[in-house]
Amino acid sequence: MSQSIPHSTSNQTAPSAVLLDRDHAILAFNERVFDWACRHDVPLLERLRYLCIVSSNLDEFFEVRAEPHLAANQSKDTKGLFTVASFNRLAQAAHRLVARQYALYNDDLIPALEKRGIKIISHGDRNPAQRRWVKQYFAREVRPLLIPVGLDPSHPFPQVANKSLNFIVRLGGRDAFGRENEIAIVKVPRVLPRMIRLPESVAGGVHVFVSISSVIRAHLAELFPGRDMGQFSQFRVTRHSDLAVDEDDVKNLRTALRQGLEHRHFGQAVRLEVSAGCSEYLSAFLLKQFDLPELALYRVPGPVNLVRLTQLVDLVDAPALCFPYFKSCYPTQMTLGVPLFEQLKQGDILIHQPFESFGGVLAFLREAVNDPDVLAIKQTIYRTGSDPELMGLLREAVRRGKEVTVVVELKARFDEEANINWAEMLESIGAQVLYGVVGLKTHAKMMLITRREGRQLKRYAHLSTGNYNPRTARLYTDWSHLTADKLLTADVENVFVHLASHSRLPKLNHVLLAPFYLHNKLIEKIKALGDTAASGGQGRIVAKMNALTDEALIHALIRAGQQGVKIDLLVRGACMLPAQVAGLTDNIRVRSVIGRYLEHSRVFYFRQGEVEELFLSSADWMNRNMMRRVELAWPVTDPAQRQRIVDEDLVAYLHDGVDAWDLLPDGTYARVKPPKSGQAHGAQAALMGRYAGRFNEREE
């Protein structure tokens, strides 16, 4: 890279604070999500969905954070390596959470579902008619896809894909060739549905489901005619799945990543799940096969993959057991029938998603595509998902002869394949496709429209704290910011040019860009507030983010708090800063809000005396965001717009009396207690109520 990245300007001695462990903080976040599955004020099917979300989060935790190689001589340090002791503590915490999950599933959710006429029945609970139907289903839909593999020297243990469902069987007797090979493996194809609904003719007037594992388990012996089937168990292995590509050593990153994706499903094993009744012989055999320690074994009294139970939620048509329907309103600062380019000449527009619709962003792009005066569209792509609408608009823009430049982040974790496919599609029709900067992920969310107006070219921009993904825009809280501000749009243009050419970045007017300036500028602002407070002035920081794990920023906050700055941190996920510790962080409060929607917006508020600054950002306060990603933070300078963000995304959450958790001095979290008198309010519910009444008059 032609421009060097400055080191942190913070040279002060770090305070004597023992930071919280990042991995345990991630598990603590999942415990807060799990609380939603336990809450009886949450609709029943939504409780099941939250249980599945925790399982999905744990899958990713093991795939990314679990150390693949557990050697006794390792020491856990800032690089994330593990000693045996630290691995044991983390594994024990994960085991406790998994045990709570299955206890809730078996003792609470399953009985509650049965009371509402929703049953998952095992083979032993099926009546003769149901058994006949399952037998026919197995013969017709399942058996033709199963190939049991008996292990012998010519048939070694098969490659088992990451998170796939399998059976292991111990057989008695001899095979067709007179050999005593006793272990067989049966892979369950991913194409088979994990939950199957029985027809009404055999369901008995209720919603009756069978799992694919119980269907196969009931007919497992049929796969081994002439053999005695003894011990057996389901099993599922989780593998390390974080792609590692040496970008300095490859000529074509896209090709290298596509090749890497072919092997992702077969990385180093990090976790083994088996049925609770799995014999010691079979579990020991599997542990040896996957080279895993005993604590990597999870015996589960139920489905080995709770994530797949989301299929049941989708198959049951029971609105009363789900959250009440909520439809985002049309963005309140947009006026239907008036071109957005004309509206933006009058002032910036903010969209608070999902309370206001992401459709406003699509309308902005659609207007640009259809406007003959628009000459160029530039956009970053990090996670778009499989929804084709946005990509269809970019394709139409190319067809209409506009200059379309797209910066596609190929290394967006677990979205690599989708992004490669989108990149190849856009490139094939003539769009200019860029892959950002070697060694950095382009995580900034920005779109720039260049339009001819008379003899001038005018720029319009969209900046966001979230992704260009219509599906997650309905589930994540984020801010979209539309602007025609000359200085801000000039900054966005310069960032795009920098990403394309890797030329030296000029001095920016408003935007703070990582990895060049964002980290240092944040530390400088925190330090300035600390100096103000130390000299008798007033300093205030309120910052909202998804994670706080960057040690330099944490130490800067601790110092500022010790100097008298009042600091409130809204950190949804992992937080390593120990809050409310006497004599150390008395002035710092950390709060996590877990709600119906995933809190995703990043908002940084600084007040020095009477001077206020507020930034929106794509970046969390993590070292990777500050040093290894292209990230943006930009100011909201209009006082009315700034106050709106403060009211809706900071004050509302600091006063949340329903869904908030406070970080305690010992590193644990406590859910807020509702007031003894009066009604407690949740921030998200209040925002839904505020915007729901505006739907009819602004329906899209």
Greatest extent of the chain over all pairs of C-alpha atoms, in Å: 89
Q: Which two tokens stand for residue 116?
A: 């509402």
Is 600 catalytic? The answer is no
- Token pair for 633: 């933070």
d(CA 386, CA 468): 11
Query: What sign for the dihedral angle of Cα 218, 219, 223, 227?
Result: positive
d(CA 665, CA 437): 41
Cβ neighbors of 171 (< 8 A, separation 6 or more) are 150, 181, 182, 183, 184, 224, 227, 228, 229, 230
Residue with tokens 């000449």: 345
| Rounded Cα–Cα distance for residues 217 and 208 (Å) | 18
- Would strands 629-635 and 512-514 be described as parallel, antiparallel, or unpaired? antiparallel
Spatial contact of 614 and 650, defined as CB atoms under 8 Å apart? no
Q: Which of 288, 353, 290 is nearest to 326 (CA)?
A: 353
What percentage of the chain's residues is helix, strand, coil (to nearest 5)? Answer: 40, 20, 40
CB 3 within 8 A of CB 630: no
Q: What angle do CA 347, 369, 428 make, to 5 degrees?
A: 135
Q: Are 73 and 82 in contact (CB under 8 A)?
A: no
Q: How far apart are CA 633 and CA 614, in angstroms?
A: 10
Q: CA-to-CA distance for 351 and 361, rounded, in angstroms? A: 8
Contact yes or no for 621/648 (Cβ under 8 A): no
Phi, psi (degrees; rounded to nearest 5) at 2? -75, -20
Indicate the SS3 state at residue 533: helix
Q: Is 474 exposed, middle or buried (0-12, 13-18, 19+ CB in 10 A)?
A: middle
Helix 84-104 with 44-64: angle, nearest 10 deg = 160
- Cβ distance 485 to 501 under 8 Å? no
Q: Which of 617, 693, 609, 689 is nearest to 652 (CA)?
A: 689
User: How far apart are the C-alpha atoms of 661 and 141, rounded to whole Å?
Assistant: 47
Amino acid letter, residue 642: R
Q: Which of 166, 149, 163 is nearest to 235 (CA)?
A: 166
CB 457 within 8 A of CB 375: yes
Q: Cα(294)–Cα(270) distance, rounded to whole angstroms?
A: 11
Say if residues 371 and 341 touch (Cβ distance below 8 Å): yes
- Using DSSP's 3-state secondary structure scheme, residue 408 falls into strand
Q: Are the C-beta atoms of 634 and 488 separated by less than 8 Å?
A: yes
Classify 180 as helix, strand or coil: coil
Packing angle of the helix pair 389-399, 359-370 (nearest 10 deg): 10
* Element housing 527 (H / E): helix 518-534
Catalytic residue among 207, 240, 352, 443: 443
DSSP 573: S
Strands (E), 501-596: 512-514, 539-545, 566-571, 588-593
130 in Cβ contact with 215 (< 8 Å): no
What residues act catalytically? 443
